[in-house]
Amino acid sequence: MNTVYIGLGGNVGNRLAYLQRAQEAIAGTVGNIILASSLYETKAWGVENQPDFLNQVIAVTTPLSAHEVFSCLMAIEMKLGRVRSEKWGMRTIDLDLLLFNSDIIETEALSVPHPRLPLRRFVLVPLAEVAPGYIHPLTGKTIAKLLEECADSLDVLPFTLPCPQ
């Protein structure tokens, strides 16, 4: 059985509903969700003039290969209305394969660990919540250490649901 860490994010429509639907689809196609971080809200990264993102990281156990997981994630994005028209643009859902066991995979279609993982607080904060001691296979540093050293100054704020009126 393989352990995979997946980053979830979105900033279009009902962000929470899209994250929940993505988790349901992942559980139905990829494997068993064993850990889920809290939800975090962040300003957009890269292209800033867009709505705030809701982000989360989950850990999943799966019998699938990294390439099979990646294919499932791309299919789930399409099913949930993801349109790839602008790099770092608005999206209903974004599913990133962050880590796969301690594997290093470099193909035309897939890079694992995710190449920008050490540079982005919106990924490192939720990942450090669920896997602070995980050793990044390329840097040899823990996720907690990568977060501590991350130069990204983007605020990553805990997201709380509004109270019903």
Model confidence pLDDT, tens digit, residues 64-104: 999 999 999 999 999 998 666 555 557 889 999 999 999 99
Look at residue 91 in the predicted model and tell me its pLDDT: 80
**pLDDT higher for 5 or 85?**
5
Look at residue 87 in the predicted model and tell me its pLDDT: 58
Q: How far apart are CA 13 and CA 54, in angstroms?
A: 11
Q: What is the mean pLDDT of the chain?
A: 92
Q: How far apart are CA 165 and CA 162, in angstroms?
A: 9
**pLDDT higher for 92 or 39?**
39
Contact 129, 38 (CB under 8 A): yes
- CATH 3.40.50.2000 for domain 2-116: no
- Say yes or no to pLDDT of 155 above 70: yes
What is the average per-residue pLDDT within 120-139?
97
Domain ranges of the chain: 2-116
Residues tagged active-site: 82, 91, 94, 96
Model confidence pLDDT, tens digit, residues 47-65: 677 899 999 999 999 999 9
Q: How many CB atoms are closer than 10 A to CB 55?
A: 28
